[in-house]
Amino acid sequence: MFASARAVLAVLVCLLPPLSSPTRAAAQPANARARLDSLFTILESNDRTMGSVTVRKGDRVLYQRSIGFRDSSAAGWVTADSLTMHRIGSVAKPFTAVMIYQLIDERRLSLDTKLSRFYPQLPNSDAITIRDLLGHTSGLGDPIQGIDVFVPLTRDALIHRMATVPIQFPPGTRRRYNNGNFLLLGYIVESVTGSTYAAELERRIVRRAALRRTRVGGAVTPAHNESRAYYFAEGHWEQQRDDAIENAGGAGGLVSTTADLTRFLTALFRGRLISAASLTEMTRGFVDGAQRSGKGLGPFEIPGTTKTGFTHDGSIGAHTALMGYVPEDSLSVALTVNGHNYPINRLFFHVWDILYGRPLVLPSFARVELPDSIARAHAGVYSAREYGLTITIRTTDRGIEGQTEGQDPFQLTYIGQNRYMNARDGILLELAEPVAGVAPRFTLFQQKLAIRLTRAASTK
């Protein structure tokens, strides 16, 4: 559909002060900027990612870069910049949560307010609370599951689906992520205020946090510097059809920039949006065994450090976003990706590793010699039952190849560290370290997918 983008990929790097910090706890290494540039240049030059990143400490931007394109047309590719707005998917949920907590601070709602006050027709509405909706412990079914994502539905239609989808569990007893919870919270913001979600977003968050490019989304409009989304396939970036964002509402219906996302996090944790008590509730969630989550933002840890922070990710169609904040250092990172060929979660932690001086081997996609012992250890049949997927890895006189059951083989290039890629179709395989001479599993990365396959049988 499109010519290869590699030759014309363009980059915007904002000229910002060197990465530094006056405090030992938050000190970024002197070469952090260069390392971040190297990371994003590698991803850009290998057609691995298109999107934007911002790193902020307090009110000061430490690093900002955009790579790739926001649009393609008969006239050619249009480069992205720091003002390009991206659909952020479920990263909208913390915005909706903040407006709910503001209403709680204003005593117009409480965490114990029953859903039946607004939607008595929904199952268990007398038992489901605002707390349950925020923490995904309502037990309601997800109205988004199974719909045609390209067809916009009315609010009444979505509520009707929620009323007819079977409940999952009694309220407050378990946690299951559900877009319907935040659809309802968005509607509740409108019911309590007598205003629109868009107007309340502008009044309660955009103005207070001095956001510049955040609003309720509509059809993607490249003329307004909004990004389209792409997957890498058959050797080039292919534009993807956009979901009907109207169906996402308070669960994922916003567009923004990485600069605005980091401004939002800074304003939130500096107390400019909600009370300290509400922020504590927002970041303290339902405890289910070893899994802990927030009611608007969830905790994360940076491996190899004592640093902990709060994060949310999001996806709508082929658009993704991810943001995180470490309160101890007033440090925030936001990513938006509209061109997928590398795992965004991994990229997120690459950035944090660089910021905290953690050892990081930058990703490489160059071919390296494949030792026979490694080839033998990797050869085998692997499967993921939940996906109905079986892939065979085998050696041939041409090297090594993979084959999905029922499909033609695809050639693999060894790039070291137990990794293979197929550059044409944007496939990346990462195999576990061999045990007793064989790799027990591998993870397949392609587009936004990350699928773990377990060895089913050996072909040695």
> What is the per-residue pLDDT across 113-122, written as a single tens digit (0 to 9) for each?
999 999 999 9
- pLDDT score of 19: 47
The pair of structure tokens assigned to 17 is: 């002060």
Question: Cα–Cα distance between 135 and 295 in angstroms, integer?
Answer: 4
The number of beta carbons lying within 10 Å of the beta carbon of residue 155 is 14
Q: Identify the band that residue 29 occupies on the pLDDT scale cut at 50, 70 and 90.
A: confident
Average pLDDT over residues 187-192: 98
pTM as predicted? 0.87
Length of the chain: 460
Q: Identify the band that residue 16 occupies on the pLDDT scale cut at 50, 70 and 90.
A: very low
Average pLDDT over residues 342-363: 92
What's the CA angle centered on 129, arms 175 and 140, to 5 degrees?
50
The answer on pLDDT for 291 being more than 70 is no
- pLDDT score of 289: 64
The number of beta carbons lying within 10 Å of the beta carbon of residue 62 is 24
- pLDDT score of 456: 85
Q: Identify the band that residue 11 occupies on the pLDDT scale cut at 50, 70 and 90.
A: very low
3/277: higher pLDDT:
277
- pLDDT score of 327: 97
Average pLDDT over residues 55-79: 93
Q: Identify the band that residue 424 occupies on the pLDDT scale cut at 50, 70 and 90.
A: confident
Average pLDDT over residues 104-127: 97
289/379: higher pLDDT:
379
Q: What is the mean pLDDT of the chain?
A: 90
Give me the helix-helix angle, 344-355 and 32-45, nearest 10°.
Answer: 160
- pLDDT score of 5: 32
The pair of structure tokens assigned to 302 is: 């940076």
If phi > 0 it is left, if psi is from -120 to 50 it is alpha, else beta; for residue 236 that is: beta
Q: Identify the band that residue 2 occupies on the pLDDT scale cut at 50, 70 and 90.
A: very low
396/211: higher pLDDT:
211
Give me the helix-helix angle, 258-269 and 93-105, nearest 10°.
Answer: 30
| Whole-number percent of the chain with pLDDT over 70 | 92
The pair of structure tokens assigned to 410 is: 């695809």
The answer on pLDDT for 202 being more than 90 is yes
With tokens 């059951």, the residue in question is 405
Q: Identify the band that residue 26 occupies on the pLDDT scale cut at 50, 70 and 90.
A: very low
Q: Identify the band that residue 15 occupies on the pLDDT scale cut at 50, 70 and 90.
A: very low
What's the CA angle centered on 344, arms 338 and 350, to 5 degrees?
130
The answer on pLDDT for 173 being more than 70 is yes
What is the set of domains in the chain, with CATH numbers? 372-457 (2.40.128.50)
The pair of structure tokens assigned to 334 is: 């936001």
